[in-house]
Amino acid sequence: GAAIGDFMRPDRVIVGSSDERATQLMRQLYAPILRNHDRLLVMDPRSAELSKYAANAMLATRISFMNELANLAEKLGADIESVRLGIGSDHRIGYDFLYAGVGYGGSCFPKDIQALQHTAGEYGMQLSIVDAVEKVNRTQKQRILDKVRSRFGEQLDGRRFALWGLAFKPNTDDMREAPSRVVINGLVARGAQVVAYDPVAMGEARRIYASETAVSFAETPIAALDGADALIVVTEWKEFRSPDVDAMKQRLKTPVVFDGRNLYDPQWMRECGIEYFAIGRAPAPGADPGKR
């Protein structure tokens, strides 16, 4: 999604090299990109490789940490969005990768976490924190399904669900390890029909679900809502951030929204007459948080 921009404006460029000539060639190669700041770090190849895995593991850890806190926030009646602002405003922590949701996907985070686990195992080590990060992420991808089952029951035969977002993150069509696949597979396994929409990942989704008759696709987000028992938001595309709530209520069979990315304000949704389930958001005033 942002690969070219990240390449042209990098925070740093890490070069793993044990050869001085190769190092100088890399400095020359990157000189036009790093004209204003020397952000090239040279280290031995092993340290460079571990730095790459460690960086992605750290970001994945922040995501899983916030997701675990979000699940606790629901039990306590707290709001994970307020918690995010509370801890993110600490300059030692910052706001990046502190958004609670339905877990991370894609190729890099899952692959690099597993690579660290495998490498540690080869040397007789167990990375307890890294193991926990992956375990929490696997569990988190089931959270929306848990909420759907709590609302509609274990068996979903005859139910129809609209799903907004298929890619594992915005601005890409990549569905590798995408939470949407866990959600779709879980709904279909329980007898439900799924009508999905994504701005760019529809082609990839059609390929993945070519033989699955319970999964179909809509040309617009609103069209996906027609006759659905509920809407499930899985990817935080910008076009989903300001929905036509009146149209949403008219198209849905029941005005129920499961928001896996916390795009909407819970109070606003309730005031609009929508039954709203998010990740780690405070329950309605007067509700018993233990019974949410």
Catalytic residues, by residue number, are 108
For the chain, the DSSP string reads --HHHHHHS-S-EEEE-S-HHHHHHHHHHHTTTTSSS--EEEE-HHHHHHHHHHHHHHHHHHHHHHHHHHHHHHHHT--HHHHHHHHHTSTTT-STT---SS---SSHHHHHHHHHHHHHHHTT---HHHHHHHHHHHHHTTHHHHHHHHHH-S--TT-EEEEE--SSSSS----TT-HHHHHHHHHHHTT-EEEEE-SS-HHHHHHHTTT-TTEEE-SSHHHHTTT-SEEEE-S--GGGSS--HHHHHHHSSS-EEEETT--S-HHHHHHTT-EEE-SSPPPPTT--GGG-
